[in-house]
Amino acid sequence: MSKYRHLLKKWWFWLIFLVVIIGVVSLFWYTQVYTSEWGKGLSKEDKEVLEKANKSTNEFNKFAKEANSGIKSFNNDVTIDPQIVINPFTKMGDNITERSDEFIKDYDEYS
């Protein structure tokens, strides 16, 4: 031990020591993160849930565009048939009612 005692007083020895320790810790962290499930991204179930959410969002956006165009038509011409304005909202409500059990089931599975 006395043979290496003079090294403990050198600043560059401690610098090398810290760099080696930081390197080992970083390597360990990297291997744990990027080889774990967390590091690989979303699970299959998560992707399915997001795809279902995206599909239903696209459907509701379609109904919302129809409803918006119906409202614009009604604003431009008051004599237009009110069913043109009401139908998209009815479709949207029917879709929500039909799929509510599915939404609840998916929510319960995911949460």
The overall average pLDDT reported for the chain is 77
The pTM (predicted TM-score) of the whole model is: 0.42
Report pLDDT for 37.
60
Residue 100 in this model has a pLDDT that exceeds 90 = no
Residue 27 in this model has a pLDDT that exceeds 80 = yes
Question: 103 CB contacts (<8 Å, ≥6 apart)?
Answer: 56
Q: 63: part of which helix (H) or strand (E)?
A: helix 44-76
Question: 40 CB contacts (<8 Å, ≥6 apart)?
Answer: none
Report pLDDT for 64.
78
Whole-angstrom Cα distance, residue 97 to residue 64?
16
Secondary structure (3-state) at 3: coil
Structure tokens at 70: 């119906």
